[in-house]
Structure 1
Amino acid sequence: MSALTPAHPRRKCSVEEQGISNYTRVFYNPTTAQLYEQAVRRKEGLLAHQGPLVVRTGRFTGRAPNDKFIVKDASTADRVWWGEVNRPFDPEHFDRLHQRLLAYLQGRDIFVQDCYSGADEKYHLPIRIITENAWQSLFARNMFLRILDPEALAAFEPEFTLISAPHFSANPVTDHTHSGAFILMDFTKNLILIGGTGYGGEVKKSIFTVMNYLLPQKGVLPMHCSANIGKDGSSAIFFGLSGTGKTALSTDPERQLVGDDEHGWSENGIFNFEGGCYAKVIFLSPEAEPQIYQSLGRFGTVLENVAIDSKFRRLDLYDTSITENTRAAYPIGFIENASPTGLAPHPRHIVMLTCDAFGVLPPISKLTTRQAMYHFLSGYTAKVAGTEADIVEPQTTFSTCFGSPFMPLPPIVYADMLGRRIQEHGSTCWLINTGWTGGGFGIGSRISIKYTRRMVHAALGDRFQQVEFETEPYFGLSIPRQCPGVPSEVLNPIHTWKDKEAYERQAEDLRNRFRTNFKQFESQVDPELLALI
């Protein structure tokens, strides 16, 4: 043993104990540099100018929601919100596919990352991420919370294990999957199996789904949101699906970033689930998003499906030939003013982000607690191109809790918890549209992120307290008449449409879509909530 190689205590939990045997080598918690060496040696990616690792995720460059299943057994049968999102999978089929996956891993190198999900030690979840690719191990090392103490790492025992084998495909006929790709979750065995897809987001969102299943049972609200803290110590959270601006708007040089995507809200405040950021980087500019942009030139960053010149190793952030869903996964510490703890007080402000493809909703409006619950349950937005497989242009959707693909429990569980916390802590709620204005997709234009940032700064800085508000007629939303640095005509969408009658028809149509979608909650919510729109 070299004098430079530290001696490590005997490992408490080995992969053999988890059924993996006859492997060639197992790399337990390799460092970033070691994973770079292995990824390049195995030709899994290219080392780009200034240091990031550029990889391809194969056929899937976004999530594959039709390939995700949850094992239905005695513990989940009456607890999970079964339906189009959470589809049941037979325990015996899971076991057979698990055994085939274990057989596939024989004779191969295995990469293991032991880490946590959840910065609050009272509620964190010990997880083990097992991968066949070195780059996916680096992805996990970036995204989750690392264990820095060697003694603690040696004594680590996972409560949940995820195995990802992108090059192993299922047989839909015999394995009873939707396709060759699969994301299978067993909440009884505390095990996740992923195969046939190399998209890193499946690893990240699978652990998020686990947290969304476990934490409400402990009285903690899990949230698909980003969070930051102002100079006065007050915090804000930003709900929204991928592509609505959670990462861009929360990564603010004037505020400390707590996390960019996943948080819990406990009796102690809010806490980040992750140790990294997973930012969409297509068309990213250093002027609009300097902190995210600078992370692209860092050793340790993993870039998924970003175009690169193979000779000069320069990135092309404007190349969409592979996908528009190009991504960067990097440690949150790469953001200069990121929180070192991942903890924050109860939020003073709650921002709900929507990407309105119809161009109807105001760029900013203030919500009552009841309206916040309504829009939280509705989760209206547009799926942005590339975020999911086969999405090539924005499509309007209602994704309850701004993250229904990751919510295994009935939506009302999360909405009730949110409503109680808003009332308990007096949070002010806002709805912000980062989508279109002056018309819908193909007619109008995307709202300027410069204006959106100014509106967010005004809201979080309590600058609307002395401003007069007006109520728009279709959704009952309160719109500020003025905002520093934003033309007044931008604030009310009807003023940006040349054809006012067309706006009214579109607004009425969108309101009817809201009403139709909300009928699914008729038996779960009180009449007052139903009558809001």
Structure 2
Amino acid sequence: MKPSIESQGTDNKPDLYRNIYQDVSIAQLIENTLAHKDGVELPHPNMKSKIRLDGSPSYGLEALGLKNLGQVYRNLTVPKLIEHAIARAEGILADNGALCVKTGKYTGRSPNDKFIVDEATSHDEVHWSKTNVAISEDNFDLLYRRIQSYVQGRDLYLFDGFVGADPDYRVGVRIITERPSQSLFAHQLFIRPTPEELDDHQADFTVIAVPGLQGDPDIDDGINSEAFIVIHFGKKLVIIGGSKYAGEIKKSVFSLMNYFMTKRDVLPMHCSANMDEQGNTALFFGLSGTGKTTLSADPTRRLIGDDEHGWSPKGIFNFEGGCYAKTIRLSYENEPQIWEAIRFGSMMENVVLTRDSRHPDYDDGSLTENTRVGYPIHYIPNAAIPSVGSHPNTVIFLSADAFGVLPPIAKLTNRQAMYYFMSGYTSKLAGTERGIVEPQATFSACFGKPFLPLSATVYAEMLGERLRKYNDHASVYLINTGWSGGPYGVGQRISIKHTRAMVTAALNGDLNAVSFHPHPIFKILVPETVPGVPSEVLNPRQTWSDPDAYDRQARELARLFVENFKRFTSARPEIVEAGPSID
């Protein structure tokens, strides 16, 4: 474990300072200063603003019906946002310099509290389902009026920036929050404007996040709890209440992109991306917790982005300007780039700090397994700036298989790639959503079903078209980052060291000359050898103490695949036949 910043160089302090500050961390000294408002121009949170008296601008918020406001802060610098967050008791500084906040009851996305407004412009396009739940325009209007009343007299923080690293597909976004810590999150996660761009900024999408306003299902028809995340495609507007979890802001913008980018011949993808020095690009698809951020943060390759991308006729581009990484069990040895990126300007969520030193305990999941950190992409030293790349040479589907039967790596034909993309099999990992306390097998179409407002077939056909049109020689792999030797609770999680070796072999072309054999049930192509990986690891049946038990479990998972795929009634027969066999 790398030593903390606080512990380095302590013995070089003069004795006088050692005596005075021996029990006080640097972070605490800074906070003590802020608590006395020394050098911080910050009105009391409840102080009535003079915004209408002194003529300071409201930046067009009246057009949204947000009136009689307190002070409105627009695009504050990172140090000022951190000062405001600390002074308002939203978070504390860790010894590595990062702001650490707790999000209370909601430590992950709340999928049962997300709704899409059933309105005329999008009604016939939205794929209404358990994940795309309708709410009426009347009920949306009632919630919005509650927001308009709630913000009166309150200070608001604006972030005006962009989504989309390719200027040809860039979208203006405005994030309105009552919490400076969430404004810091938006500043670091989205694309930051230059001063000239800020002067001419126009918001195509708007997100209003007011965690302090709690919904009430008894009076707010159409919602389920105090939390609500409501998307209105017609207005290009999202309202969020009752949840302090910043990830709701990020994923709401992603949902907007997933709807509107398809109209511009851009495939929106829940994936990470990187490239080598020659510009060869790779995509990593997978749900949260499957390893997209970890595996794409490779010191030998340039990071394009860790979570959300578009694939246009020109190539790949990052939607975001930052990364949102899981930190549970983070170590310097396994993930040095992410470790080093957690510093001043980063924002950690629900990471437990030691009482005196304020040192993050990344192994402590007492608040949640979904501990997170947000930081700008340039905190990764080899990030690609701007975050764009060519059409991908390698596509990797990441699956955390809780059954422990999928091979740790397998090559897919183009038809199999379509099948497994549409299936989107993985396991929901503990903490990524409320109520998930242990991995659960799930099929999430296109590895991003919770964020896809359209039918999965729309996105799958766009992917198939691109694989045929731009990448006749691209390699597609399915990599299992889940369990081996048995199901969850019996087997063990596949070694990150072995997973990295398999990813490296796939990216470098080391598997091009390797022999493959088809899995007897799933029919995917399993390599005979992978450099740096024991051969017995590659065959999951050999890792089980009871091979017959493996066969039974594998057939059960195959049955789940087949049953799940029946919902894709419009899938071509050759795609259906590319799936596993249950005979």
What's the TM-score bracket when you normalise by the shorter of the two chains? over 0.9
Residue 564 of structure 2 corresponds to residue 514 of structure 1:
no
Residue 479 of structure 2 corresponds to residue 432 of structure 1:
yes
Residue 362 of structure 2 corresponds to residue 317 of structure 1:
yes
Deviation at residue 231 of structure 1 after TM alignment: 2.1
- Equivalent pairs counted in the alignment come to 522
**Structure-to-structure mapping, 1:46-85, within 5 angstroms:** 46-85=92-131
Q: Which of residues 309, 320, 325 in structure 2 aligns to 1:263? A: 309
Residue 178 of structure 2 corresponds to residue 123 of structure 1:
no
Distance 1:299 1:14 in 2: 31
Alignment partner, residue 518 of structure 2: 471
Q: Which of residues 421, 428, 431 in structure 2 aligns to 1:386? A: 431
Distance 2:436 2:464 in 1: 33
Unpaired stretches in structure 2, ≥5 consecutive residues: 1-40, 42-55
Distance 1:478 1:424 in 2: 23
User: Would the aligned equivalents of 2:65 and 2:148 in 1 still touch at CA under 8 Å?
Assistant: yes
Residue 263 of structure 2 corresponds to residue 242 of structure 1:
no
Distance 1:124 1:231 in 2: 25
Deviation at residue 20 of structure 1 after TM alignment: 1.1
Alignment partner, residue 448 of structure 1: 495
Deviation at residue 154 of structure 1 after TM alignment: 2.0
User: Would the aligned equivalents of 1:228 and 1:236 in 2 still touch at CA under 8 Å?
Assistant: yes
With 169-178 and 24-33 compared, the bigger mean Cα shift is at: 169-178
TM-score (normalizing by structure 2): 0.88
Deviation at residue 12 of structure 1 after TM alignment: 10
Residue 203 of structure 2 corresponds to residue 158 of structure 1:
yes
Deviation at residue 416 of structure 1 after TM alignment: 0.3
User: Would the aligned equivalents of 1:12 and 1:155 in 2 still touch at CA under 8 Å?
Assistant: no
Alignment partner, residue 401 of structure 2: 356
Distance 2:177 2:415 in 1: 44
Query: Can you list the C-alpha shifts for 1:374-419, whole angstroms capped at 9, x where unaligned?
Result: 1111000000000000111111100001010000000000000001
Distance 1:11 1:235 in 2: 44
Read off the aligned partner of 1:460 and give its amino acid letter.
L
SS at match of 1:174: coil
Query: Can you list the C-alpha shifts for 1:71-113, whole angstroms capped at 9, x where unaligned?
Result: 0111111100101010011001101110111110111110000
Deviation at residue 173 of structure 1 after TM alignment: 2.1
Read off the aligned partner of 2:145 and give its amino acid letter.
Q
**Structure-to-structure mapping, 1:94-173, within 5 angstroms:** 94-148=140-194, 150-173=195-218
Residue 524 of structure 2 corresponds to residue 461 of structure 1:
no
Query: Can you list the C-alpha shifts for 1:453-482, whole angstroms capped at 9, x where unaligned?
Result: 000000110111111111111110101101
Deviation at residue 310 of structure 1 after TM alignment: 3.8
Q: Which of residues 247, 259, 268 in structure 2 aligns to 1:213? A: 259
Alignment partner, residue 67 of structure 2: 21
* Cα distance, 1:134–1:13 mapped onto 2, change above 3 Å: closer
With 421-430 and 52-61 compared, the bigger mean Cα shift is at: 421-430
Query: Can you list the C-alpha shifts for 1:109-143, whole angstroms capped at 9, x where unaligned?
Result: 10000011111111111010000001000000010
Distance 1:324 1:512 in 2: 30
Read off the aligned partner of 2:189 and give its amino acid letter.
M
Alignment partner, residue 409 of structure 1: 454
Alignment partner, residue 530 of structure 2: 483
Alignment partner, residue 82 of structure 2: 36
Distance 2:357 2:292 in 1: 33
Deviation at residue 15 of structure 1 after TM alignment: 1.5
Distance 2:467 2:59 in 1: 42
TM-score (normalizing by structure 1): 0.97
User: Would the aligned equivalents of 2:57 and 2:72 in 1 still touch at CA under 8 Å?
Assistant: no
SS at match of 1:46: strand
Distance 1:206 1:339 in 2: 25
Distance 2:465 2:76 in 1: 43
Residue 139 of structure 2 corresponds to residue 93 of structure 1:
yes
Read off the aligned partner of 1:166 and give its amino acid letter.
P
Unpaired stretches in structure 1, ≥5 consecutive residues: none
Q: Which of residues 338, 360, 367 in structure 2 aligns to 1:292? A: 338
Read off the aligned partner of 2:206 and give its amino acid letter.
T
Deviation at residue 17 of structure 1 after TM alignment: 2.2
Identity %: 52
User: Would the aligned equivalents of 1:277 and 1:331 in 2 still touch at CA under 8 Å?
Assistant: yes
User: Would the aligned equivalents of 1:368 and 1:429 in 2 still touch at CA under 8 Å?
Assistant: yes
Ranges of 4+ aligned residues in structure 1 off by more than 6 Å: none
* Cα distance, 1:389–1:12 mapped onto 2, change above 3 Å: closer
What root-mean-square deviation, in Å, do the aligned CA atoms of Structure 1 and Structure 2 show? 1.2
Distance 1:451 1:434 in 2: 10
Distance 2:500 2:307 in 1: 18
SS at match of 1:122: helix
Read off the aligned partner of 1:47 and give its amino acid letter.
L
User: Would the aligned equivalents of 1:236 and 1:350 in 2 still touch at CA under 8 Å?
Assistant: yes
User: Would the aligned equivalents of 2:96 and 2:359 in 1 still touch at CA under 8 Å?
Assistant: no
Alignment partner, residue 501 of structure 1: 548
SS at match of 2:168: coil
Deviation at residue 11 of structure 1 after TM alignment: 7.3
Query: Can you list the C-alpha shifts for 1:287-316, whole angstroms capped at 9, x where unaligned?
Result: 0000001122x1100000000134321111
SS at match of 1:145: coil
Read off the aligned partner of 2:317 and give its amino acid letter.
F
Query: Can you list the C-alpha shifts for 1:144-195, whole angstroms capped at 9, x where unaligned?
Result: 00001x2321221101110001110111122121111000000111110000
SS at match of 1:366: strand
Alignment partner, residue 34 of structure 2: none
Alignment partner, residue 445 of structure 2: 400
User: Would the aligned equivalents of 1:11 and 1:155 in 2 still touch at CA under 8 Å?
Assistant: no
Alignment partner, residue 329 of structure 1: 374
Q: Which of residues 303, 312, 329 in structure 2 aligns to 1:283? A: 329
Distance 2:403 2:310 in 1: 32
Distance 2:152 2:144 in 1: 13
SS at match of 1:329: strand
Distance 1:272 1:155 in 2: 22
SS at match of 1:347: coil
Distance 2:488 2:157 in 1: 44
Q: Which has the larger radius of gyration?
A: 2
Read off the aligned partner of 1:471 and give its amino acid letter.
P
Deviation at residue 13 of structure 1 after TM alignment: 4.6
Residue 250 of structure 2 corresponds to residue 204 of structure 1:
yes
Distance 2:421 2:103 in 1: 32
Alignment partner, residue 305 of structure 1: 350
